[in-house]
Amino acid sequence: MSDVNEIVDKLLQEVRRGTITIGVLSQLEQPKYGYSLVATMAEKGVQVDPGTLYPLLRRLEKQGLLQSEWDTNEARPRKYYLLSPTGKEVYDKLTTEWRKIVTSMQVLMDEGGEVKNGND
Amino acid sequence: MEMIERYIYAVTHRLPQSQREEIAKELRGLIEDMLDERVGQNDRTIYEVESVLLELGDPVSLSEQYGGSRRFLIGPYLYNQYIAILKIVLMALGIAMSVVLAIEIIAEPYSIYNHLVRFISLVINSSTTAFAWITIGFAIAEYKGTRPKVGMWKPSDLAAVPKYQKEIKRREAITGIIFSILFLVFIIFSNHLVGFYVFEDNELDRIIPFFNSDVLSKYLPFIYIILGLGVLKEGLKLVIGKWTKKLATYNLLINAVTLALVAFIFSNDAVWNPYFMQDIAKITPQHEAYETIKTIWENSRVSVVTIYILILIVDTVSVFYKSFKS
């Protein structure tokens, strides 16, 4: 049984990897710093490892999807990230595509269920 | 806290210089935030710090995540070929060296210990050299990006499946490498064994060498280049894997350079043993045999180069023939 769990974990990790990017983009219409993003996403039920999120934010910035600014006014300097115009456009397109995926996956999985029942 | 700084250092010191400082600053902030969430500023203990760092995970994998695309000296695309060629060349080297050792022991059985010591140091030397050059070659190939750019691919680019007779047999290239190594090991290290074997009462008395060891050793760099070119030639056959026009052209170029180097070395008469005929005269009292050997000796000096030229021409033409034959 532990084998099954291990495989499920691995596959889920792969599924999540792609969703995290979309999730992050969805939260950055307002500027946020890394750890506050971890917290808000966790609140909404999406657990993100800071060790994954921080490098991801940098990569997205490098790709031009995010803009960043250091806030040095507070005691602890923090880097705030915000969607860039390109990022916004990308996020909108991704949202549309994501909805399509959800719909078609729904169809696929429902069909799969029907066949199974039919065989019984 | 020192441990936090150690962790940050472990993550950042592998990253490009330009990004280190900012990533360090961001990570420091993150760790502080994570600590704050657990305990207040004053109650921090080493345990909290450790648990935060454990949550962030192995600094090496975090560093890899920051690194983005991985960079390789020899990447996965070339790795298998690299290992295959390394194995083949080292094996060929081993075989060639063992043959030399066997001949040396047979020729001079009284100094087995010396032969063994020399054998071991030769094996270590030559295999490190071979290893280094093969690695450098592949690293250059990796750096230059032999791999076609992803996304530029078209179905029409697909190479034809080599017809059976166009496929290069591995055996062939391996034999080629063994022979070029064997040949040059003799020239470089054991040229005193290449010569006229004098037998007395059915026992080997001595060997009159063909070459002048001292002069030959001055040409060592050139001889190494010839060896390198020989291995390169067979290596290309292994990498390309089939008889193509490109391979035939490389083959032509390599042969041309090899020929030039061989001709250059043998154009110096001093590479031949100057005392050869004198020594022969001492052991052949009959005049006729001496004259025969003298004729052969004088002709052979020219014919060695001529034969070599012929071999190279045959090789060049046959590779072209194989590549054009459909």
Beta strands in chain B (DSSP E): 195-200, 203-209
**How far separated are the first and last CA of chain B, in Å rounded?**
72
pLDDT at A120: 47
Task: Quote the CA–CA distance of A22 and A10 in Å, as a whole number.
Answer: 20
CB contact under 8 A, B68 and A59: yes
Is pLDDT above 50 for B325? yes
Where along chain B do its domains lie? 2-67, 76-324
A107 Cα to chain B: minimum distance (Å): 32
**Mean pLDDT, residues B140-146:** 75
pLDDT confidence band for A94 (50 / 70 / 90):
very high
Asked if B325 and B165 count as a contact pair (C-beta separation under 8 A), the reply is yes
Inter-chain touch B29–A77, beta carbons under 8 Å: yes
pLDDT at B27: 92
Distance CA B88, CA B110 (A): 33
Confidence of residue B318 (pLDDT cuts 50, 70, 90): confident
Of residues B309 and A105, the one with the higher pLDDT is: A105
**B148-195 residue pLDDT tens:** 555 666 777 676 676 666 777 778 777 887 787 777 777 776 677 777
Top pLDDT among A79 and B190 is at: A79
CATH number of residue A85's parent domain:
1.10.10.10
Mean pLDDT (chain B) is 80
How close B74 gets to chain A, by Cα (Å)? 25
| Residue B103 Cα to chain centre, angstroms | 24
| Cα separation, B49 vs B34, whole angstroms | 9
How many CB pairs below 8 A link A and B? 45
Range of the domain at A36: 2-119
pLDDT at B319 over 90: no
Q: Which has more confidence, A117 or B194?
A: B194
Residue B326 confidence (pLDDT) above 70: no
Give residue A1's pLDDT: 61
Q: How far apart are CA A35 and CA B30, in angstroms?
A: 6
CA–CA separation, B295 and B308 (whole Å): 20
The pLDDT, as a whole number, for residue B195 is 75
Q: How many domains does chain A have?
A: 1
Residue-wise DSSP of A52-76? HHHHHHHHHHHTTSEEEEEE-SSSS
Q: Which of B19, B26, B55 sits opposite A79 (nearest CB)?
A: B26
What is the percent of chain B with per-residue pLDDT over 70, rounded to a whole number? 89
Best mutation site among B65, B66, B69, B70 for testing chain A: the one with the most A CBs within 10 Å?
A: B65
- From chain B, pick out residues whose CB is under 8 angstroms from the CB of A50: 30, 34, 55-56
> What local confidence, expressed as pLDDT, does residue A100 receive?
95
Distance from CA of B216 to the nearest CA of A (A): 59
**Among B20-29, B113-122, B172-181, the range of highest mean pLDDT:** B20-29
CA torsion sign for B16, B18, B22, B28 is positive
**If you average pLDDT over residues A69-77, what whole number do you get?**
85
- Chain B residues in contact with A56 (beta carbon < 8 A): 65
Contact between chains at A35 and B33 (C-beta distance less than 8 A): yes
Chain B nearest C-alpha distance from A109 (Å): 32
- Contact predicate A46/A66, CB 8 Å: no
Residues A5-39 have pLDDT tens digits of 999 999 988 888 889 999 999 999 999 999 999 99
Q: How confident is the model at residue B253, as a pLDDT?
A: 92
CB B33 to CB A76 under 8 A? Answer: yes
Both tokens of residue A68?
Answer: 């960043």
CB contact under 8 A, B32 and A76: yes
Task: Measure in Å the smallest separation between the Cα of A53 and chain B Cα atoms.
Answer: 10
- For residues B100-129, average pLDDT: 80
Residues of chain A with Cβ-Cβ distance to B61 below 8 Å are: 51
Please give the backbone phi and psi of residue B227, each rounded to the nearest 5 degrees, phi first: -60, -45
- Give me the helices (H) in chain B, please: 2-12, 17-38, 46-56, 59-67, 76-107, 112-144, 170-189, 213-218, 220-240, 245-266, 276-283, 287-324
